[in-house]
Amino acid sequence: MANLSKKILAGVSAVGLSAALVSCSSDDSDDGGNGGGGTDGRGPITFAMGKNDTGKLRPIIDKWNEENPDEEVSLQELAGEAGDQRDTLVRGLQAGSSDIDVMAMDVVWTAQFAANGWIAPLEGDLEVDTSGLLDATVESATYQDTLYGLPQNTNAQLLYRNTDMAPEAPENWDDVISTCEDVTADNNDCLITQLKQVEALTINTGNFMDGWGGGILDADGEVTVTSDESREGLQALVDAYEDGTISRSSTGATEEETNLSFTQGQNAMAVNWPYMYGEAEAEGSAVAGKVEVQPLVGKDGVGVSTLGGYNNGINVNSENKATALDFMQFIINEENQRSFAEASFPPVLASIYDDESLIEEFPYLPALKESLENAKPRAASPNYDELSKAVQDNAYAAITGGKSVEDATSDMESAIANVTG
């Protein structure tokens, strides 16, 4: 089986624009929010994407250019570091540059770009059919009931098991606890996940709150971390760390530490993204041939994973928006979405997950589809970084014993309200 890319993490992939000179744009106010270039312009365009994943897009760009020689797409490859990408991206967009037409945005950035008027709403002449896409991906591209991006690829977390140490698939969180009691009784580590005080902790906190029926924000953008359900979810996470269900090493773990620990046979279970399946089954892995995956589990059954991936957006100042839209739709046709699956870059086209030949090659696909069908995008906020820090700081304090869950969620609520109000 082909190794899975290590760079498909929703929480850590981000995109930006290279520094660009300010280009002239119309200040015509009668443009429906689509900038001075209108919506019917056609011609060559530039597509910007972080360099970690451009290898999956180059063959698609080549096909497009062969079929559309008068509307060629140029690839602007961006930095690999998320912070550098976004800093450059924001500078270009704030300057009103039209040098970049289409940008591959981390899903969590869609709200920020939309709120600032940097990307064109996909309505009117730019309306697209999203009926064949996974629902959660469309939700991630929507801000205030308007679609601002076209999902390109996606991602969701899975629960991995070393079947030698944990033979039975848990159906709910109580089953995880029960399994881990047996594992730890034999002096083995049970479940490893990412509780280091970085974005991954925000993701995992959200998973537990959502999996117990709560969440960080509700559909109306109201803070819900102090609801009974959210507090119960965070308490389950805190208790699991305290009683050894979740490995102590988790507070120092990101996705790669999780991958190394699980593939070296040190844990009975792990929460991670799909890329780890290929690593776990690769030659040299201590768990090759004894790995099973399923969606995350929550309080009463299938849990909730945070959604990852990229949404493609059109620069509001692009002069060739019609070409930009056609290219974004080209990326998600069946042939190209299948190529994503073959490159272990989870597609957004729902039908791909039912392809029997792909399932034979990538046995995790049915579990990933179920995980995606139950996934939720991260909280949609123009001030997401500050929101995430509020979650991380307080969740970490609760997990490590610095605060009670009640105090941590109350402080979390106040901090989030300060940046979203």
What residue has token string 């042939």?
A: 335
| Same domain? 162 vs 222 | yes
Give ∠ CA 372-374-380 in degrees, rounded to 5.
Answer: 85
CA distance 238 to 342: 38
CA distance 230 to 213: 7
| Same domain? 268 vs 409 | yes
DSSP code per residue over 170-202? PSSHHHHHHHHHHHHHTT-EEEE---STTHHHH
Position 197 in a domain: yes
User: Encoding tokens for residue 149?
Assistant: 């991006």
Position 186 in a domain: yes
* Backbone phi and psi for residue 244, each to the nearest 5 degrees, phi listed first: 95, 0
Position 331 in a domain: yes
CATH number of the domain at 252, please: 3.40.190.10
Position 15 in a domain: no
Position 174 in a domain: yes
| Same domain? 293 vs 181 | yes
| Same domain? 207 vs 266 | yes
- Return the pLDDT at 8: 33
| Same domain? 88 vs 230 | no
| Same domain? 210 vs 266 | yes
| Same domain? 186 vs 280 | yes
| Same domain? 166 vs 270 | yes
| Same domain? 388 vs 300 | yes
Closest to 225 measured CA to CA, from 209, 237, 238: 209
> In angstroms, how far apart are the furthest CA atoms of the chain?
71
Are 343 and 349 spatial neighbours (Cβ–Cβ below 8 Å)? Answer: no
CA distance 307 to 374: 9
Q: Hey, CA dihedral for 304, 11, 179, 276, is it positive or negative? A: positive
Position 16 in a domain: no
| Same domain? 326 vs 397 | no
- Return the pLDDT at 24: 32
CA distance 334 to 349: 7
Position 33 in a domain: no
Position 121 in a domain: yes
How many domains in the chain?
A: 2
CA distance 205 to 235: 10
| Same domain? 271 vs 317 | no
Going residue by residue through the chain, which has 421 residues, state the pLDDT in tens, using 9 for 90 and above: 333 333 333 333 333 333 332 233 333 334 556 665 689 999 999 999 999 899 999 999 999 999 999 999 999 999 876 667 777 788 899 999 999 999 999 898 899 999 999 999 999 999 999 999 999 999 999 999 999 999 999 999 999 999 999 999 999 999 999 999 999 999 999 999 999 999 999 999 999 999 999 999 998 889 999 999 999 999 999 999 999 999 999 999 999 999 999 999 999 999 999 999 999 999 999 999 999 999 999 999 999 999 999 999 999 999 999 999 999 999 999 999 999 999 989 999 999 999 999 999 999 999 999 999 999 998 888 889 899 999 999 999 999 999 999 999 999 999 999 998 6
Structural domain range at position 360: 45-155+309-373
